[in-house]
Amino acid sequence: MSNEFSYLPATELASLIRRRAISPVEVVVSLLDRIEARNPSLNAFVHLDRQGAIEAARSAEAKVGSGDALGPLHGIPIAIKDLFDFKPGWPATFGGVRALANFKPPIYCAFAERAERAGAIIVGKTNSPTLGFRGTCDNFLFGPTRNPFDLSKNSGGSSGGSAAAVADGLLPIAEGTDGGGSIRIPASWCGVFGYKASFGRIPFFVRPNAFGHDTPFLVEGPLTRTVEDAALALNALHGYDSRDPYSIDDRQDFLAATTRSIRGMKIAYSADLDVFPVDPRIADAVERAVRTFESAGATVVPVKLGIKRSQRELSDLWCRLFMPINLRFMADMKANGVDLLGRHRDDFPTEYLQWLEIGRKMSADDLYRDQEIRAEIYDLLRVVHDEYDLLVTPTLGCLPVDNATNGNTVGPSEINGETVDTLIGWCLTYLFNFTGHPAASVPAGLIEGRWPVGMQIVGRRWNDADVFAASACFQRMMPWESTYRLCAKRPIGLT
């Protein structure tokens, strides 16, 4: 599909590099050339370090010939996201905040640090919405990331640049962060595999408040075209780190889990998590897809979770819970000389500023009551997982939306005649950031032969291996690699 490395899995590239059948320099230069040719029409990358990547590839090539031990990602080109994701000296605009266009913190995020330690070569940063506070990918500095299946549509967010880059064959692995579905949402719209690990599985570095990523649970994770590539990445990324007070000390081989049988598994299926409106075309596609597990020897049982609150109550809850960390970010930036809500207030979408004002008026009692609602959802999901190994749902309630021209693309305002919040209300993902369960979005087919649909697979807390086993089983039985031909054939001229 247009060059020899563009759609090769990371597992295969890593094997070829180890055997010296190809060199890291060949791979990196080839994919850098592909990025430079295709990114202007896609807008997935917002920063590219060609020289640094080639130098790192030369070092990786020399190490292959030295006989030294190689990490599991040795020589593999990857990208990190432009949000709370850092590599020293690289720009960090926190999702296209214009005032931060030249902000370059001298720190690593855990994903970048561990990926490089495993031998990966980080080639650049990918697009994200402002502060990651929506399920689409657009901002006032860089504009929207276009969906490689249909350039008029959005990639989804907040890890939209990463998902689009992977689907378009620009690299095999890209980083996402997920506080409400930001890995799984763009994975669904861009037809790739997105994995949100159990909370604590991959360490997350937040300062000055080391506890700041728990409300809701926020994680880093991989977006890939194959389940095995995500497992390879998770093997390199997970494990205890004392800098994260929630980090768990539990080493596993998730690549091995991808070969496990799911025979005998009990799988709960919810078409709507009780309260979410879902486009009938998506509901039909996921209903057909989940039945695939029965052919593999699993039992699939439709369930009701018992959620009594409306989807609008729940999406408002998610928005409120994210306000304390956002308000502290603004205060910290102001203390360091950047008054984002003063002279730079126009850098932020109206919807975001409205939620900041709501958050500013909240009391400690308000926050505590919101956490009680979150606990209510946790208990309902806990009861399901006490009986079933997995819970399967649609990832999203709608198909990709059109890109806006003003830097402020949002999701739909209604689905099936029911009003939803345009920022997150059409996503069946954020409940699992309330709870910390591992969750993946797997490609479940194409609607009308053009738009990808995601199926969400949720495991018991810290049973990530079950999610990988089921996801890999589904990919073997319902392979989706051929869908990327639509991306490979897309126009690459400037739009």
Cα Rg of the chain (Å, integer): 21
Q: Within a 13 Å sphere around the CA of 282, how many CA atoms are in the beta-carbon half? A: 29
Whether cis (ω within 30° of 0) applies to the bond prior to 491 is: no
Cα–Cα dist 203/241, whole Å: 6
Reported as half-sphere exposure (CB side, CA atoms, 13 A), residue 229 has a value of 26
> Pick from 236, 195, 258, 194: which is nearest to 14 by CA?
236
DSSP state of 436: -
> 349: Cβ–Cβ under 8 A, 6 or more apart, which residues?
130, 134, 140, 407, 408
* Helix, strand, coil abundance in the chain, percent, nearest 5: 40, 15, 45
136 vs 39: CA distance, rounded Å:
18
Report how far residue 46's alpha carbon sits from residue 96's, in angstroms, rounded to the nearest whole number: 9
- State yes or no: is 158 an active-site residue: yes
Distance CA 127, CA 146 (A): 10
Q: Which of 128, 155, 158, 247 is catalytic?
A: 158
Catalytic residue, from 23, 128, 159, 182: name it: 182
Q: CA 15, 17, 19: angle at the middle one, nearest 5?
A: 70
Catalytic residue among 23, 81, 198, 270: 81
* Cβ neighbours around 414 below 10 Å, total: 13
- Amino acid identity at 469: A
Residues 6+ apart with CB under 8 A from 468: 227, 230, 231, 234, 254, 257, 258, 440
Q: For residue 485, is it left (φ>0), alpha (ψ between -120 and 50) or beta?
A: alpha
d(CA 398, CA 415): 7
Query: Which 3 state secondary structure label does DSSP give 69?
Result: coil
Residue type, 232: L
DSSP code per residue over 221-232: EEEESSHHHHHH
Is residue 81 part of the annotated active site? The answer reads: yes
Tell me the catalytic residues. Answer: 81, 158, 182
